[in-house]
Structure 1
């Protein structure tokens, strides 16, 4: 019964094949002008399609698919037998289309009720990889078959096999068997033993999942399957297979580039592969023009490495196994272009990209977003007075939450500008309470932050993870006086003929009015000039700028994020294992000591030779000196004044808040959770 069903299935299949061939002939007549012209030698194709990635300054920073072709006689016969056995057992018998192989694949797929085998020949795979890698429709399949048939009539089997072996992708950035042999085993393709040949032959079908560097167990299972197929096809004996499995594989350590551009390059490749597919990126012969400024990237690497070495040698507690790490991102405020993206100290030691990971808390660097929410949604302004005093916030079903300032020191009534300059936790917590965390989250989304944010009061102290890239983008909105330019990393993509496949056109979105943002901008200038970030000025950076420090609970994260008119840069410093960063005297490393010096030295070099550029003041905004305790215009009782940027229609001769501030009771339907209070010590280090 089953045999009869199989015979009918094969008969139907042959009928369909005959119909398909007739259809293909008709399609060929219509598509013949669109088919690529085959050269007189396949070598000319093998060398013509590397993808090149360029920096913004025209430097080639990465080449993908660059092959090192070798002649067939310089490839191990064991590999050639293995690749034929596993990919196209009837390679020397068919003429580009294997009817028996296609029928067998269909039978196996029907039997297992899944697509576990394909019917493409080596020639079809070669045609696909060379000409049609990023087309994804039935027309491509027809073109692929037609070109395969052309190849079979134009070139010998050995020429096709040689071309395939020299261009196929083996994972880990290796194209062609020669490069793969060097990458995985540190030897020439002609010197591969049977076990090594079988492992390489198993990679083209799944170069990432079966990669021995990434998944050695799966790679070995795939190798065993290749050896079994070789035995079944008569290329090796059972004794050969068993002897090979007893052989030492000889896998070498993975080669990892130490070039600091690699963090950005890998980010670009992964993003494009997600959007367009790996075949498009690796096989397309593309020219990818990115936004990276290699001078800025080199500066970032040099400054980060120098400062971290100084901290480890002179200031931090010795004897730790973990190396201090850092991340740095720079955005062009005018466009959103990523000009520098350093994801770690050395790419050769760690490929984890901390610049785009959102696993670290920003601490007090998140407070400008809280203040912006208060000014936009509650009508607060830089001269609004909040009482900086110990306050307990009731938590339903739990103990009250009492956020504390560093050193348990409080200022009493204080205007918002001074509160931000001194990074007062109690004030920020009161703002979030009066706003509700959800309204703060809404404001964070307006700033372009997409990471999950906790709906709790401790959001006031930056207890939800965000990435340095997100924080740089948020601060860029402040520098742009309310305009969000989405960060981007690719300016243009061209195919190998020079046709433009993609072009980025930036357009800013006004997320906040300039009259609302400018007072916050001025407050953040105060942070850098006289507040917790004044170390930047002490270190010699004199361009007009604003910024904010950040230090999280138990000193696990140190941040400094700042902006000039042209650029916004974010710096993070900490340990990957989340242990506190403690100095030799037992003090925690703060944003002002850990991250701000990196920002200052780096930005000073970035802007070297450029004239200072001031931030334009919007119409309807003026500067006014006020009493820092009352928020009113100064009088004879005033002890300290501070200049604030406020709307011209604001009358500062009248109280802006009741004299006694009362925390309203918690609504019964409101749920609030909390985490341990981060404390920030942004005191200026001794220089």
Structure 2
């Protein structure tokens, strides 16, 4: 008896152990990850509209797994494939029995009897031969699948991985390939078409076997009508819908953004911050201008639009719709290019912020040579003196170089690194003073990022009780679910103060607009835009970047291979695109004045310096608080005149009681020479009366040659050397000037101070002396 009980217990233990082992095997039989197949990289707009997709590594259009299945497709696929889907445990015994009977009768496999759950298992075990053993495995795995997932999740697996003919896998890809729309937007007929396709995707395929495909679709629609899922009218209309004839090309609305996303999110579905409508408008504008630009053999352009408040990308056009021969696949937005003048506003802001200059201060604009560097204005003309804000608005090169020299090259280079312009990778000495004229490279992304940070700083300063965010100069994002961290609030400026940025933007509002936009300020509906252009040396890069309170738009135009073209200029090639983009953007209010970062002071109307007691005309203007340390006006002097105010006099020739004392606006001779040509109201100082002695006043300066210049004198056709024309500016042109070459007297000039010389090769000293004893010198080297 004991032996029998022992054997019974022993047998039960074995059975129990076997049962436990089978249970564990059953529990672990289903892989944690059902599908390891590669998927397409897919990007969508913020509204969920498909912007583009890259084919999967295995050559299939297989979008990442759906989050859910649209209700219409769900109904269609269940009614067609597995009517009892919501009631069975993963397999349908009745269907299996019917299939088995038919297969035995026919002697071959004609019917599978698989449920949707079993089909999911079969799709996940691709490559397995269809056999009864495999069927049994699928059945076991199907029941396990039912334990792990809900019915709707199983449907999602099926809809994401079912074959729909050709290289199209999954409902999402099929909807776009066959109907050009999202699955959620398909009609009953279109859903029914897609529901029958996985049943025989190799036999029934859009564009062929149309009768068989239509018959299957209509049978399903009829079943939906009989089940009272759709009404008679819907059924009749659905059966009349045409079938897809051939696959649609997938949308490629933001191709270069798609490639950028694929670098970090390969095989993922990514919802971007791009606005679909704005992206399409930007594409159309670039395509329109491309047709004109390519007539001048200019083939590439890029556009970036940022939302200032969120620092999100709203549109991303990496290139024009050109061809492969002209590098259409290159994403120029992130490529380093010569900056031209596009960084001049950063220098202007830095100088204002440092308190070294005021917006209306006159800066020097005369022919300049600094060492071996000889910058020139684009028009090769000079104003003598121009306000700093107008120099920026007109993008004058000489004032910019001189301001950079005075501000300090290393100092400005430090600020560019603080702005995180990643392509500024060399030392300040490597770039030299050409840094401000395009000697350095940057990219559209970094430049737009910086302008957006300026705009955002002004907005945040006004909204947060005159405080700054510590991480204002952060990276923008094109991912919708990625929040930009602006940091914490502080009273300390991040890099530049709000007052300097605001005054920079006020200057950039005055930049001359492209043809057709010149009178923008006279129209109430026009947008107030702070904008700047840039043109690189050799006409290789044209830039235009503009900002409002809400948006930053950046444009680059050129050739991706670096070939320069005549006419490739920021104002004529890039600016028209910029303003066409702003036309489709909503209007924005202008920035609020950051009064807490400004100080109202009296400014000399003529010089733009802080007014001294000698300035006869002054007005109150807002300047950065740091500007309070700037010196008073140096160009107004106290002069002594005779009673008729025709001549200057002094105590050597006129009693003090008979003098007229007057404040006079006087520029240095070289500045004055060019300034008076552009400013006819400028009054030069009267000459000293002949019986008076002029004292301590610099009255003349060389126009040419510059100091220590090397001159080559070409020969004429007869072999004789051409002469060298020496030119001089005198504050009183009628004054007699005596010319000397190496102490040898050359002659005298009056009114027009020019002298021709033919010096021998070598180093020579030129000396000029006016009739009042004033003297100027130049040293030159004549080369053979």
Residues 289, 257 of structure 1: alpha-carbon distance in 2 compared, 3 angstrom cutoff: closer
TM-score computed with the length of structure 2 as normaliser = 0.47
Query: What is the match of residue 580 of structure 1?
Result: 564
- Asked if 1:259 corresponds to 2:252, the answer is yes
- Asked if 1:420 corresponds to 2:402, the answer is no
CA-to-aligned-CA distance 1:56-111 (integer Å, 9 cap, x gap): 1232324565439xxxxxxxxxxxxxxxxxxxxxxxxxxxxxxxxxxxxxxxxxxx
Query: What is the match of residue 62 of structure 2?
Result: 67
Q: Secondary structure at the match of 1:387?
A: strand
Query: What is the match of residue 424 of structure 2?
Result: 452
* C-alpha displacement of 1:428: 1.6
Aligned ranges for residues 76-225 of structure 1 at < 5 Å?
A: 154=141
| Matched-pair contact (CA < 8 Å) for 2:30–2:141 | no
Aligned pair count reads 437
C-alpha distance in 2, partners of 1:628/1:175?
A: 74
C-alpha distance in 2, partners of 1:556/1:490?
A: 32
| Matched-pair contact (CA < 8 Å) for 1:485–1:509 | no
CA-to-aligned-CA distance 1:107-135 (integer Å, 9 cap, x gap): xxxxxxxxxxxxxxxxxxx99x979xxxx
C-alpha distance in 2, partners of 1:471/1:401?
A: 26
- Structure with bigger gyration radius: 2
C-alpha distance in 1, partners of 2:564/2:38?
A: 52
Query: What is the match of residue 609 of structure 2?
Result: 631
Query: What is the match of residue 568 of structure 1?
Result: 552
C-alpha distance in 1, partners of 2:341/2:620?
A: 22
Query: What is the match of residue 215 of structure 1?
Result: none
- Asked if 1:472 corresponds to 2:448, the answer is yes
C-alpha distance in 2, partners of 1:521/1:377?
A: 15
Unaligned runs of 5+ in 2: 1-19, 64-119, 126-136, 143-156, 178-199, 204-247, 459-471, 637-666, 671-784
C-alpha distance in 1, partners of 2:565/2:618?
A: 36
Residues 604, 385 of structure 1: alpha-carbon distance in 2 compared, 3 angstrom cutoff: same
C-alpha distance in 2, partners of 1:391/1:31?
A: 87
Query: What is the match of residue 304 of structure 1?
Result: 286
| Matched-pair contact (CA < 8 Å) for 2:313–2:476 | yes
Residues 311, 629 of structure 1: alpha-carbon distance in 2 compared, 3 angstrom cutoff: farther
* C-alpha displacement of 1:447: 2.5
Residues 470, 35 of structure 1: alpha-carbon distance in 2 compared, 3 angstrom cutoff: farther
Query: What is the match of residue 544 of structure 1?
Result: 528
Residues 503, 29 of structure 1: alpha-carbon distance in 2 compared, 3 angstrom cutoff: farther
- Asked if 1:592 corresponds to 2:561, the answer is no
Give the structure with the higher percent strand: 2
Query: What is the match of residue 92 of structure 2?
Result: none
Residues 257, 604 of structure 1: alpha-carbon distance in 2 compared, 3 angstrom cutoff: same
CA-to-aligned-CA distance 1:250-291 (integer Å, 9 cap, x gap): xxxxx9977332222221222x24xxxx4xx35xxx5x2211
Instruction: Pick from 611, 615, 625 the counterpart of residue 647 of structure 1.
Output: 625
- Asked if 1:392 corresponds to 2:369, the answer is yes
Query: What is the match of residue 719 of structure 2?
Result: none
| Matched-pair contact (CA < 8 Å) for 1:358–1:465 | no
| Matched-pair contact (CA < 8 Å) for 2:304–2:444 | yes
| Matched-pair contact (CA < 8 Å) for 2:375–2:401 | yes
Aligned ranges for residues 665-676 of structure 1 at < 5 Å?
A: none
- Asked if 1:269 corresponds to 2:262, the answer is yes
| Matched-pair contact (CA < 8 Å) for 2:311–2:484 | no
C-alpha distance in 2, partners of 1:376/1:309?
A: 43
Query: What is the match of residue 736 of structure 2?
Result: none
Instruction: Pick from 295, 304, 317 the counterpart of residue 329 of structure 1.
Output: 304
Q: Secondary structure at the match of 1:408?
A: coil
Residues 56, 650 of structure 1: alpha-carbon distance in 2 compared, 3 angstrom cutoff: same
C-alpha distance in 2, partners of 1:354/1:544?
A: 30
Query: What is the match of residue 221 of structure 2?
Result: none
Residues 637, 518 of structure 1: alpha-carbon distance in 2 compared, 3 angstrom cutoff: closer
Residues 509, 410 of structure 1: alpha-carbon distance in 2 compared, 3 angstrom cutoff: farther
* C-alpha displacement of 1:416: 1.8
Q: Secondary structure at the match of 1:654?
A: coil
C-alpha distance in 1, partners of 2:285/2:618?
A: 38
Give the structure with the higher percent helix: 1
| Matched-pair contact (CA < 8 Å) for 2:53–2:251 | no
Query: What is the match of residue 505 of structure 2?
Result: 524
C-alpha distance in 2, partners of 1:407/1:332?
A: 35
* C-alpha displacement of 1:560: 0.9
Instruction: Pick from 489, 510, 517 the counterpart of residue 478 of structure 2.
Output: 489
- Asked if 1:340 corresponds to 2:315, the answer is yes
Residues 524, 611 of structure 1: alpha-carbon distance in 2 compared, 3 angstrom cutoff: closer
| Matched-pair contact (CA < 8 Å) for 1:341–1:355 | no
Residues 460, 37 of structure 1: alpha-carbon distance in 2 compared, 3 angstrom cutoff: closer
CA-to-aligned-CA distance 1:570-623 (integer Å, 9 cap, x gap): 1111122323332xxxxx34211111111112112111xx45343342414156
CA-to-aligned-CA distance 1:495-516 (integer Å, 9 cap, x gap): xxxxxxx766554888945973
C-alpha distance in 1, partners of 2:630/2:32?
A: 78
C-alpha distance in 1, partners of 2:317/2:496?
A: 34
C-alpha distance in 1, partners of 2:261/2:293?
A: 31
* C-alpha displacement of 1:344: 0.9
Query: What is the match of residue 295 of structure 1?
Result: 277
Between 1 and 2, higher relative CO (CA 8 Å, sep ≥ 6) is seen in 1
C-alpha distance in 1, partners of 2:590/2:272?
A: 26
Residues 370, 48 of structure 1: alpha-carbon distance in 2 compared, 3 angstrom cutoff: closer
* C-alpha displacement of 1:566: 0.4
Q: Secondary structure at the match of 2:62?
A: coil
TM-score computed with the length of structure 1 as normaliser = 0.53
- Asked if 1:56 corresponds to 2:46, the answer is yes
Q: Secondary structure at the match of 1:547?
A: strand
* C-alpha displacement of 1:636: 9.8
C-alpha distance in 1, partners of 2:301/2:38?
A: 39
Residues 521, 614 of structure 1: alpha-carbon distance in 2 compared, 3 angstrom cutoff: closer
